[in-house]
Amino acid sequence: MMMVVVAYDVKTSDPQGARRLRRVAKQCLNYGQRAQNSVFECLIDETNFQKLKLELLAIIDEKQDSLRFYRLGNHYQGKIEVYGAKQTLALDEPLII
């Protein structure tokens, strides 16, 4: 499994944009967790990454919206530094409740 960071900017100046924004976030939630308002961290394999990418590309308006993927690879833990609010759960550690 590899870590892919998904960052997007969706133009929400009209209702269609607001709808695209909701749909992009909803889609990303199927593959990972929200790290920030428009940044998701997805621990996925290559096949699911390609699927996610196609699904997001089908939602956004490429003339207005921006979509960026950052591949951190399998050994990603040392490549992410987090400060401040909204700590995310470590995806690959058991959740003890």
Rounded Cα distance between 58 and 55, Å, is 5
The answer to whether residue 66 forms part of the interface with a second copy (CB under 8 A) is yes
With CB under 8 A as the contact rule, the residue among 14, 45, 79, 92 that binds a second copy is: 79
Among 18, 29, 57, 90, binds a second copy (CB under 8 A): 57
- 12 φ/ψ angles, rounded to the nearest 5 degrees: -110, 30
Minimum separation from the CB atom of position 6 to a second copy (A): 10
What whole-number distance in Å separates Cα of residue 82 and Cα of residue 62?
30
- Residues at the binding site are 9
Residue 19 binds to a second copy (criterion: CB under 8 A) = no
Closer to a second copy by Cβ: residue 84 or 94: 84
Rule CB under 8 A: which residues touch a second copy?
5, 7-9, 11, 35-39, 53, 57, 60-73, 78-86
